[in-house]
Amino acid sequence: MKVYDDKHIKNVVLVGASKSGKTTLAEAMLFEAGLINRRGTVEEKNTVSDYHDIEHERGSSVYATTLHTEWKDYKINIIDTPGLDDFIGEVISSLRVADTAVMMLNAENGVEVGTELIWNYVEKFQKPIIFAVNHLDHSKADFENTIEMAKQRFGKAITVMQYPVEQGEAFDSIIDLLKMVMYKFPPQGGKPEKLPIPASEMETANKLHNELVERAAENDEKLMELYFEKGTLDEDELRRGLKLGMLHHDVYPVFCLSAKKDMGSGRLMGFIDNVAPSATELLPEKLTDGSELPCDPKGPPVIFVFKTIIEPHLGKLSFFKVMSGEVQAGMDLENSITGQTERLNQLFIMDGKNRNPINKFSAGDIGATLKLKDTQTNQTLCGNGKEYIVEPIHFPEPRIRVAIEAKNKTDDEKLGSVLSEIHQEDPTLSIEFSRELKQIILNAQGELHLNVMKWKLEKIYHLDVEFSKPRIPYRETIQKLSSASYKHKKQSGGAGQFGEVYMKIEPYYAGMPEPNGHSIRHKEEIELPWGGKLVFYNCIVGGVIDQRFIPSIQKGVMEKMQEGPLTGSYVRDVRVIVYDGKMHPVDSNDISFKIAGMMAFKEAFHQADPKILEPIYDVEVMVPEELMGDVVTDLQTRRSIIMGMDAKGNYQVIKARTPLAELDKYSTSLRSITQGRGSYTGKFVDYSPVPGEIQKKLAESYKKEEEH
């Protein structure tokens, strides 16, 4: 297979709302390049891109799929991505390594909510972008309305490169404003006939062409001088101006398509070849130490792993981008994070599930390799003793959580191992083996994300699992000073057990004064793993308790703090003062004082006006302005405190603080309220006291569980 240099490699990612035609366009691009001899369809379940069984069942993309075409001495790497927000991790990792994003717009629906959501990430990565208006053959296609919506949402950078002569079922011709010709397609699509622009379209074409020339000239002083001098720009000058505009995010070229009929895809590919930037023309890669790494084929070999797939019978397949230098099959590279050496035994160009062996990749190219033992997604491999670490992909916080368990308890160990593998493939799905909650918690992007995960566990790994409502990681604390004592006495024939402890407990806060009325022999501040502090004072005088038993008392207190008296939750922010007690010269031992300390703490806790704290999340909900009232009302029913609102384009961002207990299945509820047009993110911020009536219910429920 031909090896391309860095200037002839273009990496594009196809993004857009669900059903906008990304997979169909990818298929048309492969067909146009002659890499396949028959175009598959999503409906017939035979596209190169959507090859997973779950995608065939759903009829839409679930995974980002890497493909390539070879078009007029250029190699175009294509990444086809899902259109649903639940799979946003696949989109983000693809955007990270692409050089240009192709945003698909459905000519029937215009700018959809999925477009809006993905646009936020396109803006974040600041990649050059091309808009492709697809489905122009649909009976309800409206190109003008789609362009108007795009200009309202994405601004004046929207630059029309083509427009349809007719749209709807009669669509077969496009006016190209760069080349100033009309492309007329045969009924079956494919290669068009180049024709002069009809007289009826000349006025519109000239007007839009002049706008295009002005937009291209604005991006370079020399081009502006040429434009003033000649009154126009030639095709090569236009290309130069458009490329500069794309690099500066001042030009978003718009193309016309019917991907289903293969009309317009070849012209789009030609523009990608001739105008879209290559990796070497983009800004250097940022490294974690603040330095930069230019995309230079003569530089040190550096690859960045952006995606991992683990197939049960194939093993681990790692997808990478060559950030610098060249890599060859058989080369040894070092993982900059783990220090482990990895051998690239085989290199592949991927087309869906098909692996095409290749000997070498140059800077800017995208490829894959098998069976890297100690390298995961987001890690960097380097050669020549270098230790570059490419800035990692930052994935969004999860928005939904469930508890998962195997129906057959003998599968528990296998489930844990499989979940770890799945997390390697999908970093937006995190797994928490919670000792505190005694549950395995799955954190995901939405209900659909979880359903796909369950399908995978059952169909591929043959594990029967069930989801349940996760417990909430409450915390317990106290609100006033209290005292208690406990005598542990046990006689059983031989040596007995005896220990008596007197203690005070009170709420702890930073900067509080030392306790009065006691002689402090020792003070220990313990930062608790679950947050907050335990401050433990040994105020024993006169030898009433031997010093060797004090650690046992503290251990008893700590054990009770790990299973609080009210709900079994962790206890935090308590000050404990052990000031008196008794011991027996024969029967006293560590276990006796551990039990006495634990029970004295429990009794004192109940008398200290105990309080249950619940986790509070900072929530940001993005919704269309007209639906804001319904969303705010729903948030208020969830005990949310509205912190503020900001405008973002045509959307409003509602900022609220919401208890985690009220966010159960919120993503599903929000989707219902907003007809799929809303999205939210949530991040833990603090703990706060629960209302009295809820505390009562939680305490009663825990008491019943203990009795049971």
- Mean pLDDT (10-residue bins), the chain, 708 residues: 77 95 96 91 94 93 95 92 93 97 96 84 91 96 95 93 95 96 94 95 95 90 87 90 94 96 95 94 94 94 96 87 96 94 95 93 96 94 88 91 93 92 93 90 92 94 94 96 95 83 96 91 95 96 93 97 94 97 92 97 97 96 89 96 87 94 90 85 93 94 84
Per-residue pLDDT, 566: 93
Residues 6+ apart with CB under 8 A from 681: 396, 397, 399, 619, 620
Q: Which of 427, 544, 434 is nearest to 485 (CA)?
A: 544
Kindly list the distances between the CA atom of residue 123 and the CA atoms of 20, 115, 223, 676, in Å, as whole numbers in the listed order: 20, 12, 27, 21
d(CA 165, CA 175): 7
Of the CA atoms within 13 Å of residue 626, those in its CB half-sphere come to 3
Place of tokens 């594990």: 463
Q: Bridge partners of 252? A: 158
Q: Which of 65, 91, 89, 87 is nearest to 78 (CA)?
A: 65
Strand order through the sheet with 400-406:
430-434, 439-444, 400-406, 465-468
d(CA 171, CA 135): 10
- Residue length, the chain? 708
Residues 6+ apart with CB under 8 A from 618: 643, 655, 656, 657, 682, 683, 684, 685
Per-residue pLDDT, 1: 60
CA-CA-CA-CA torsion sign (134, 137, 138, 139): positive
Q: Which of 484, 486, 488 is nearest to 590 (CA)?
A: 488
- The terminus-to-terminus CA distance of the chain in angstroms comes to 69
Q: Which of 275, 274, 269 is nearest to 257 (CA)?
A: 269
Buried b (16+ CB within 10 A) or exposed e, 649-660: eebbbbebbbbb
Per-residue pLDDT, 648: 78
400-471 and 613-694 in the same fold: yes
d(CA 367, CA 349): 5
Per-residue pLDDT, 39: 93
What CATH class does 292-382 carry?
mainly beta
Do residues 126 and 249 touch, judged by C-beta distance below 8 A?
A: yes
d(CA 17, CA 20): 6
Place of tokens 């619940």: 614
d(CA 456, CA 346): 28
d(CA 183, CA 172): 8
Per-residue pLDDT, 315: 84
Per-residue pLDDT, 493: 66
- Secondary structure, 3-state, 308-359: EEEECCCEEEEEEEEEECEEECCEEEEECCCCCEEEECCEEEEECCEEEEEC
The SS3 call for residue 595 is helix
Domain residue ranges of the chain, discontinuous segments joined by +: 6-201+249-281, 292-382, 400-471, 476-609, 613-694
Q: Which of 427, 305, 430, 422 is nearest to 375 (CA)?
A: 305
Our CA dihedral for 590, 593, 597, 603, rounded to 10 degrees, sits at 140
> For the chain, give me the number of helices (H) and strands (E)?
16, 38
As to burial, measured by CB atoms within 10 angstroms (0-12 exposed, 13-18 middle, 19+ buried), residue 279 is buried
What CATH class does 6-201+249-281 carry?
alpha beta
Fold classification of 476-609 (topology level): Ribosomal Protein S5; domain 2 (3.30.230)
Do residues 265 and 29 touch, judged by C-beta distance below 8 A?
A: yes
Place of tokens 């090569």: 236
Q: Which of 506, 509, 501 is nearest to 517 (CA)?
A: 506
Per-residue pLDDT, 700: 92
In single-letter form, the type of residue at position 445 comes to Q
Per-residue pLDDT, 229: 86
Give the start-end residues of each E strand in 8-164: 9-16, 65-71, 74-80, 100-106, 129-134, 158-160, 162-164
Strand order through the sheet with 354-358:
341-344, 331-335, 380-382, 302-311, 315-324, 366-370, 347-351, 354-358
> For 221-258, how does the pLDDT look when each residue is reduced to its tens digit (9 = 90+)?
888 988 888 888 888 999 999 999 999 999 999 999 99
Q: Describe the crossing of helices 412-425 and 447-459 by its angle, rounded to 10 degrees.
A: 120
Q: Which CATH number fits domain 400-471: 3.30.70.870, 3.90.1150.10, 3.40.50.2000, 3.40.640.10?
A: 3.30.70.870
**Strand 400-406 to 465-468 pairing:** antiparallel
Do residues 383 and 333 touch, judged by C-beta distance below 8 A?
A: yes
Domain at 613-694: CATH code: 3.30.70.240
